[in-house]
Amino acid sequence: MRKKHAETKQEANNNKMEQKTSALPETKMTVQQTLVLIKPDGLIKSLTGNILTELSSTDLIIVGAKIVQVTRELAEEHYQYLREENFFDELIKYIMGEFHTKRVLALVYHGENAIDSVRKVVGATDPEKADPTTIRGKYGRVTRAGVFENVVHASENKKEAEREIKLWFRPEELVYTLYPTESKKTTKVEFFWKE
């Protein structure tokens, strides 16, 4: 009997949690979410405004945004598929901000065909090969040490977008959540502003 009562309470709690993020407005097959990172070179060069303006040509909406100090753990997880590359160590230092500033602006864009639309505006991986009208073509550079300082990251496909968004954001940090959520009781210490 006690157990049943406890479960009912938990269920009520769950419902409360789920109501925090609004349901998605009318979803079409091609409506997607994609992760965009303005990398530390973009921030140190004060390119944020220009990059957001370029991205606004996609007609997508921003549904999540935050400044992140990238830990080694997050960096290595984000770029796990490049672990074997000879540029991996430099890439990790780059995204952690060791060459510029220890900040990355993480954004989630949402809308019709979001993944490809953003990639198109972002341009090719190598800034020297990127079309000069794209973000990377305009603002990126390759250093003598061979680091592609390409200013922004954008998810490559649906599977990667989901993995990356879940890695960088918690459900309550997004205005709309495409992916299923669950609630868990934790004993984490949280900080609040002193009164």
Which residue number places its CB atom closest to Mg ion? 156
What's the Rg (C-alpha) of the chain? 19
Both tokens assigned to 32:
């997607």
CA proximity to 114, closest of 67, 179, 63: 63
In the bound state with ligand IDP, the residue whose beta carbon lies nearer, of 117 and 177, is 117
DSSP assignment of 158-187: HHHHHHHHHHH--GGGSSB--S--------
Among Mg ion, ligand IDP, none, partner that 125 touches (CB below 5 to 8 angstroms by kind): ligand IDP
For residue 31, the cross-strand partners are: 112
What's the closest the beta carbon of residue 174 comes to ligand IDP, in angstroms? Answer: 22
CA proximity to 153, closest of 55, 25, 45, 12: 55
In the bound state with Mg ion, the residue whose beta carbon lies nearer, of 34 and 58, is 34
Q: Which residues of the chain form contacts with Mg ion (CB under 5 A)?
A: 156
Residue carrying structure tokens 């770029």:
79
What's the closest the beta carbon of residue 58 comes to ligand IDP, in angstroms? Answer: 17
Which residue number places its CB atom closest to ligand IDP? 125
Length of the chain: 195
Q: Which residues of the chain form contacts with ligand IDP (CB under 6 A)?
A: 82, 87, 91, 125, 146-148, 150, 153, 156
What's the closest the beta carbon of residue 125 comes to ligand IDP, in angstroms? Answer: 3
What's the closest the beta carbon of residue 79 comes to Mg ion, in angstroms? Answer: 8
- Is 110 an annotated catalytic residue? no
**What residues contact 158, with CB distance under 8 A and at least 6 apart?**
32, 115
In the bound state with ligand IDP, the residue whose beta carbon lies nearer, of 79 and 176, is 79
The catalytic position among 5, 100, 110, 153 is 153
Which residues are part of the catalytic machinery? 153
